[in-house]
Chain A
């Protein structure tokens, strides 16, 4: 099987977050990491598919380290991973991050503008940092190195 020995991927799971602007930031930041910043190593997981899909999503989440990216303290991404698959390797709470960064703007969930995208980029970089920790420690290897 492809997943013996050290994993070659990192699963990144965004909360679905339709209700909150931080949810939209979470989804888009994960997508940016996957498409632009760490392609090939990042695999995005789909949260509701844990429940609705066949085993694929759950099995994969068990086989690789998972970083949960949550929009708020309800931590759906983290909790659902724990419920359906196992421990998360790392987690981000965007609302807490925004507080830390002193962001107090009114943000839009449906029409992300310049400000929202700027914050999305910053969150993406936070995810990248966590991925790089796993790569540097050798816990995860790139496919061509494995």
Chain B
């Protein structure tokens, strides 16, 4: 084999292993042909991938998912939606992709006090303002690899239950705090894991999607910490505590039914580094209080259901 050819071969194989632009964002944008916000999403995607990374065409990916297998493995996924419809997010979710970061142009514009136009034509001023707001995004994913708390949340959780009709409702005995939106925080040290209660699991029925928040997001008490969709309904996980998202339950993204099978332990959704648990806890119920609160609530619901 000639030296030249050998060199070419090595070059080829290293190219094969190293995804072009590997390590940078893989960007899946809105296809940008509906409104201005969409067109801006497309332009932003082009801008972000200019220096490396990969661009996924939503239309082609929709038709032929295997086309982008290689690119998608090459870095964290950034989804850019144009508007509320969130086609790009939905596409990612339908294909079971893990979204590392999400931008919504409509919302970004709204924060800047700009109303996007109807025509799918990007206004250059709007584009440059959006782009300058992206500073830091380049490095962001590198800082994202936060480990879920080692050693925490490993002790077994004891539950107690009450029965209504044939339905058994379970609540932990201790260590959990609830809000009246039936979401829990399991608090250990400065960390908390969040999830939804057994009651939510039973009334919403079988979970089919979990859409997590991005790692790094600052969440205030009662903010949304991800959302769920079941065979019956869609709901937000309303955080009982404030803090910064340090980990999400990847297993739950793959298998949202874990919430049905084990809502208090394996069905956790998000882990936070707590910001002010002392303050938050004033507004929360401990396990005992939630147990009696839930019992009352379930009894009322059954009464209503049968018109009494």
Contact = CB atoms under 8 A, between A and B. Distances in A.
A39 B306 CA distance: 7
A77 interface: no
A45 B162 contact: no
A57 B163 CA distance: 11
- What is the interface of chain A mostly: helix, strand, loop, or mixed? loop
B7 interface: no
A9 B165 CA distance: 7
Contact of A144 (B162, B163, B164, B308): B308
Contact of A56 (B166, B302, B306, B308): B166
A52 interface: no
Given A56-B167, A56-B168, A40 B305 contact: yes
B131 to A, nearest CB: 54
A143 B306 contact: yes
Contact of B163 (A1, A11, A40, A143): A1
A45 B166 contact: yes
Interface residues of A, number: 16
A3 B163 contact: yes
A43 to B, nearest CB: 5
A37 interface: no
Interface residues of B, number: 12
Contacts of A57: 166
A3 B114 CA distance: 60
Interface in B255-308: 302-303, 305-306, 308
Given A39-B306, A143-B306, A2 B168 contact: no
Interface of A: 1-3, 9, 11, 39-40, 43, 45, 54, 56-57, 59-60, 143-144
Given A2-B164, A45-B166, A144-B303, 16 more contacts: A1-B163, A2-B162, A40-B306, A43-B165, A43-B166, A54-B168, A56-B166, A56-B167, A56-B168, A57-B166, A59-B163, A59-B168, A60-B165, A60-B166, A143-B302, A144-B308
Closest 7 pairs between A and B when the two form their complex, measured CB to CB: A40-B306, A60-B166, A56-B168, A144-B308, A43-B165, A43-B166, A2-B163
